[in-house]
Amino acid sequence: MARLTFVGSDGTRYEVQAENGSTVMENAIRNGVPGIEAECGGACACATCHVYVAEEWRPVTGSPEPMEEDMLDFAYDLRPNSRLSCQIQVSDELDGLVVTVPPRQA
Amino acid sequence: MGGRGEGMTSNYAETDVVIVGSGPVGLFAVFELGLLDLKCHLIDILDRPGGQCAELYAEKPIYDIPAWPRITAQGLIDNLTEQIRPFKAEFHFGEMVTELERTEGGFRVRTDNDTTIACKVVVVAAGGGSFQPKRPPIPGIEAYEGSSVFYSVRKMEDFRGHDLVVVGGGDSALDWTLNLQPLAKSLTLIHRRPEFRAAPDSVNKMLALRDAGLVSFQLGQVTELKGSDGALQGIVLKGAEGDSEIVATRLLPFFGLTMKLGPVADWGLNLTENHVAVNTTTFQTSEPGIFAIGDINTYPGKLKLILCGFSEAAMMARAAKKIVHPNEKVVFQYTTASSSLQKKLGVA
């Protein structure tokens, strides 16, 4: 289990409990976090679950795989800490993870 | 995307049913309508059948298709295509329905490629809507769309003699870089990173053109457009070493596709949160003769599952049959036992 915090583009914080093995995107959808669309349902095929990973968490979440990099080309307002939340898998290590939702997905 | 806009062709057809969308549910509708002797034309904005199954997750396995413990999305589409072959539906790929007009005997459907089809019933099986090019996050880009900024190439000649900037790292960006370079006054390709999603052969060809001084390849993102009244004069590139300006009279951004409800929203159908409301006995919309099945519809208890869309197609077909052949009595039959259904399937 891990506690995840999503920060909306308006600054609202959403704290959720996430099970190990689930993806960060799935937890956003299950808990109705606004701004995560996940159009393709987690297939790494659309770049509409884009989030910014808080700086201090970047070493833990790691870097995108090539397929995710390809999809990030399509994301809105890309930054060095951009990730697709469907490609971040929850584990105990991620307890306390903070990600920010961009103002738009596409 | 290919298929689209290789010259405009005027095209007229008459049929029983026009199906808007050729995803899994649109395809299976051909089968259910075909068993009831209804002929179909399908229109899809993509250049091949399959909808989201083909465009978003072709190689991903699906685990909840009845009797298929595991099947890839493309495998499902291939099977459906084979299953509906006996009914000889006509496909119009790379076209978007732009107009739907009620006529005395039914409807007239028009597409952006000048196809006109007269039909008695329209079935909207458009899933999440039509796939349309993504607009990059550049302030004020809307003002240049259609005059200086294009998301597809309809006629290569339109780009002759222009200072052209192509943005993206996929096959579309690379293909058009290679194809338009000989016509352009100058061509700059911009991508945010040195790796590409495109076919390695295209990348090598582009790099050869760059080495020959015929293409300028720049790393970075376009942040600003310069120009006025829709006439582009230049773009601002934000790269690793800061901002620079590049002369550009045409911009071609290739940032993939997104789903938009599109013209379906303008057909006077009752919508609930961007989905088409239907009666669950018939799957008819608020407009008689227009049906909606699959992900695009909504009703109490709706599940966005392919298997539910299949069932909706079967029930819709019954109601459509009554509109097309009002005087014909339909006897309920099974494909396992009915020789007349088997004849239609070409197996008897």
| Cβ contact, residue pair A39, B128, below 8 Å | yes
Q: Is the pLDDT of residue A84 over 50?
A: yes
- Determine the Cα–Cα distance for residues B3 and B44; give it in Å rounded to an integer: 11
Query: Model confidence over A11-37: pLDDT tens digits?
Result: 999 999 999 999 999 999 999 999 999
Looking at residue B3, its pLDDT comes to 42
Lowest-confidence region among A53-67, B8-22, B118-132, B316-330: B8-22
Give the neighbor-by-neighbor strand order of the sheet with B250-253. B216-219, B186-191, B163-167, B250-253
Averaged pLDDT of chain B: 93
| Cβ contact, residue pair A77, B197, below 8 Å | no
Lowest-confidence region among A79-93, B6-20, B242-256: B6-20
Six token digits for residue B211: 């080495």
Looking at residue B165, its pLDDT comes to 98
B60 in A contact zone (CB under 8 Å): yes
Residue of A nearest to B170 (CA): A70
pLDDT band at B132 (very low <50, low <70, confident <90, very high): confident
* Å between A95 CA and nearest CA of chain B: 30
pLDDT band at B167 (very low <50, low <70, confident <90, very high): very high
Looking at residue A73, its pLDDT comes to 84
Q: Within a 10 A sphere around the Cβ of B190, how many other Cβ atoms? A: 25
With 0-12 CB in 10 A as exposed, 13-18 as middle and 19+ as buried, what is B134? buried
Q: Is the pLDDT of residue B159 over 90?
A: yes
pTM for the predicted model, two decimal places: 0.78
Residue of A nearest to B54 (CA): A45
Q: Is the pLDDT of residue B5 over 80?
A: no
Which of B57, B168, B193 is closest, CB to CB, to A43? B57
Which of B60, B169, B170 is closest, CB to CB, to A43? B60
Bridge pairing between strands B231-239 and B121-124: unpaired
- Determine the Cα–Cα distance for residues A2 and A13; give it in Å rounded to an integer: 16
Give the DSSP letter of residue B144.
G
pLDDT band at B1 (very low <50, low <70, confident <90, very high): very low
Which of A39, A45, A78 is closest, CB to CB, to B192? A78
Tell me the β-bridge partners of B102: B107
| Cβ contact, residue pair B256, A77, below 8 Å | no
| Cβ contact, residue pair B256, A73, below 8 Å | yes
Report chain A residues whose CB lies below 8 A from the CB of B195: 66, 69
* Mean pLDDT, residues B107-119: 96
Six token digits for residue B166: 């192509």
User: Rounded to a whole number, what is the distance in angstroms from the first to the last CA of chain A?
Assistant: 31
Q: Is the pLDDT of residue B12 over 60?
A: yes
Comparing A66 with A60, which gets the higher pLDDT? A60
* Å between A102 CA and nearest CA of chain B: 12
Q: What is the DSSP string of B285-296?
A: -SSTTEEE-GGG
* Mean pLDDT, residues B29-53: 96
Task: For residue A3, give the amino acid letter.
Answer: R
Six token digits for residue B230: 């829709």
Q: Which residue has the tokens 């009845």?
A: B66
User: Rounded to a whole number, what is the distance in angstroms from the first to the last CA of chain B?
Assistant: 41
* Mean pLDDT, residues B76-94: 97
* Mean pLDDT, residues A87-98: 97
- Determine the Cα–Cα distance for residues A47 and A49; give it in Å rounded to an integer: 6
Six token digits for residue A63: 């870097």
* Mean pLDDT, residues B160-185: 96
Report chain A residues whose CB lies below 8 A from the CB of B131: none
| Cβ contact, residue pair A74, B57, below 8 Å | no
Q: Taking CB atoms and an 8 Å cut-off, how many pairs form between chains A and B?
A: 44
Q: Within a 10 A sphere around the Cβ of B104, how many other Cβ atoms? A: 4
Query: Model confidence over B215-265: pLDDT tens digits?
Result: 999 999 999 999 999 999 999 999 988 999 999 999 999 988 878 888 899
* Mean pLDDT, residues B181-207: 95
| Cβ contact, residue pair B134, A73, below 8 Å | no
| Cβ contact, residue pair B134, A74, below 8 Å | yes
B155 in A contact zone (CB under 8 Å): no
Looking at residue B10, its pLDDT comes to 63
* Mean pLDDT, residues B155-169: 95
A29 in B contact zone (CB under 8 Å): no
- Determine the Cα–Cα distance for residues A30 and B140; give it in Å rounded to an integer: 35
Looking at residue B235, its pLDDT comes to 97
Lowest-confidence region among A40-54, B6-20, B79-93, B100-114: B6-20
Looking at residue B262, its pLDDT comes to 86
Looking at residue B314, its pLDDT comes to 98
* Mean pLDDT, residues B268-291: 95
Looking at residue B58, its pLDDT comes to 87
Residue B300 vs residues A102, B64, B276, B310: alpha-carbon distances, Å = 32, 21, 12, 17
Looking at residue B340, its pLDDT comes to 93
* Å between B255 CA and nearest CA of chain A: 5
Query: Model confidence over B282-341: pLDDT tens digits?
Result: 999 999 999 999 999 999 999 999 999 999 999 999 999 999 999 999 999 999 999 999
Contact B291, B121 (CB under 8 A): yes
ipTM reported for the complex, 2 dp: 0.72
Which of B56, B170, B255 is closest, CB to CB, to A40? B56
Q: What percent of chain B has pLDDT over 90?
A: 82
